[in-house]
Amino acid sequence: MKTLVRHGTLVTAADTFVADVLVDDGQIALIGSDLPAEDAQVVEAEGKLVLPGGVDAHTHLELPTSGTVASDDFYTGHKAAAFGGTTTHIDFAIQPKGGSLRDGLETWHRKAADKAVIDYSFHANITDFNDTVLDEIPWLAEAGVTSLKVLLAYKGVLQVDDTALFRTLMLAAEAGVLVMVHAENGDAIDVLRKDAIARGRVSLDWHARTRPAWLEGEATLRSCALAAAAGAPLYVVHMTCGLAVDQLAYARAHDLPVMGETCPQYLFFTEDDLKRPDGAKWVCSPPVRTLADQAALWAALRDRTLQTVATDHCPFFFDGTHPIEYEGKLVAIPGKELGGGQFPLMPNGVPGLGDRLVTLWDRGVNTGRLTPNRFVELMATNPARIFGLYPRKGTIAVGSDADLVIWDPRLKKTLGVATSRHRTDYNLYEGWEVTGWPEKVFRRGELLVDGDTWHGRPGSGEYLERKAAQVL
């Protein structure tokens, strides 16, 4: 079945223009004016925008952690993503302790294959560094997994040392694999955490106090310096603060191939939210920071110091002892209540996969902080280019997958649990009034979302092998 999206205003990273889009066999077959409908199903888009489907390059679906598991799996998370206008995401395949990167990838393939609705890929995630892991890096590139992540935080659990990071950077550069880094100084954080716990300072605001911005800034510059010495490109995930942005800008000013990502929670919330009675909802790592840091992040999005906005979606129930109804069934998954109001025990992570586009459009485009074209660049085109999916994903062009979002820039909605469709019992943006909403969402030409109606089919999402990264 062909589909003709007619008379919409197409918005790409580079252009804005009125045109028709003909979709055939899951791809964009033709773009032009007044295209003949012939045997195509017609979707009228006059007065609406047509955007490429969003690409979220940082998610954690069905992630086991802190004695529980992230509450969205590859069906529920994909449903939330699609309702929010995201049609592609890249999750992290976690290396099991004592296992290989291949083991992690096989586990995540099993999680996703029968549930996926949007298209997806994986980053490899090193958690147990050894020479065998290094030997696997060339295989990753051959298998179409062209990015891997290391963490400089979570000492004794996930953290790698500088030797491991540097050796990984050197070998990844040779193999054409992009290294992603969680940049915090885990050694110093470990000292601060232990000292706070010994002094009984375990309230949630101490989550931020034991992970100060200076330690993110230090780790960011250190990572950039090691990447420079290794001759490797680098992508810094979930950047939260002006100090870290300053270090990334310094490295980029010295022509280093380094890039950065931030997340909506760091643009909209501060450490004061941790002091609220329901402050557990905002516990994530790195922590939310200050209003000054928010301003620095917005400036970095405008001046291209930062290249992408992802979600780091890792949702938990606020109170997993009380079930919610999801698609007609009661569901309860242990969540933030496990922390008992104390930061050392609190599951770290927030929901956001379904909220990314609507919040950034309302608070970014509608306020003049971002142009519509820059919005598309950050939310779709840049992540697709960086992670080897462009031009199949992230743009509207002949030959690209027909991942299209019919966007109503005048439609007003109230955000919350009901609109986000995450499988959890809270939403960070509950009660926010936004203007601008995805009316229809197509993945490879198949209608997934039509207003409030869901057409997604579990198992219809495709796994994507990726080309080498592109440095922006």
Angle at 345 between CA 339 and CA 349, to 5 degrees: 80
Q: Is 54-386 in the same CATH topology as 3-51+392-416+430-454? A: no
Helix (H) or strand (E) holding 193: helix 186-198
Confidence at 408, pLDDT banded by 50, 70, 90: very high
Decide: helix, strand or coil at residue 196: helix
Residue type, 398: V
Determine how β-strand 178-182 pairs with β-strand 433-443. unpaired
| Tokens (6 digits) for 11 | 């918005």
| CATH ID of 3-51+392-416+430-454, from 3.40.309.10, 2.30.40.10, 3.20.20.370, 3.40.50.460 | 2.30.40.10
Q: What is the pLDDT of residues 52-95, one digit of tens each?
A: 999 999 999 999 999 999 999 999 999 999 999 999 999 999 99
Query: How large is the average pLDDT for residues 319-327?
Result: 97
> Angle, nearest 10°, between helix axes 213-230 and 242-253?
20
pLDDT band at 470 (very low <50, low <70, confident <90, very high): very high
Side-chain half-sphere of 200: how many Cα atoms within 13 Å? 0
Which parts of 84-142 fold into alpha helices (H)? Answer: 101-112, 131-142
460 by Cβ neighbours in 10 Å (0-12 / 13-18 / 19+) ranks as middle
Pair 258, 252: CB distance under 8 Å: yes
Tell me what the pLDDT averaged over the chain comes to.
Answer: 97
Write down the pLDDT at residue 1.
Answer: 82
Domain 54-386 carries which CATH code?
3.20.20.140
Confidence of residue 241 (pLDDT cuts 50, 70, 90): very high
pLDDT digits (tens, 9 = 90+) for 412-446: 999 999 899 999 999 999 999 999 999 999 999 99
Which residues, other chains included, contact 102 with Cβ-Cβ below 8 Å and sequence gap of 6+? Answer: 136, 139
- At position 168, the amino acid (one-letter code) is T
Rounded to a whole number, what is the distance in angstroms from the first to the last CA of the chain?
Answer: 37
Domain boundaries, the chain: 3-51+392-416+430-454, 54-386
Per-residue confidence (pLDDT) for residue 73, from 0 to 100: 98
Q: Determine the Cα angle at 360 with ends 356 and 364, to 5°.
A: 170
Predicted local confidence at residue 398, as pLDDT: 98
- Classified as helix, coil or strand, 107 is helix
Q: 413 is written with which tokens?
A: 């909605």
Q: Which residues contact 69 (CB under 8 A, 6 or more apart)?
A: 62, 63, 333
Among 146, 65, 52, which residue's Cα sits nearest to residue 467?
Answer: 146
Between CA 169 and CA 174 the distance in angstroms is 9
The alpha carbon of 325 is separated from its chain's Cα centroid by a whole number of angstroms, namely: 26
Residue 38 has pLDDT above 90, yes or no: no
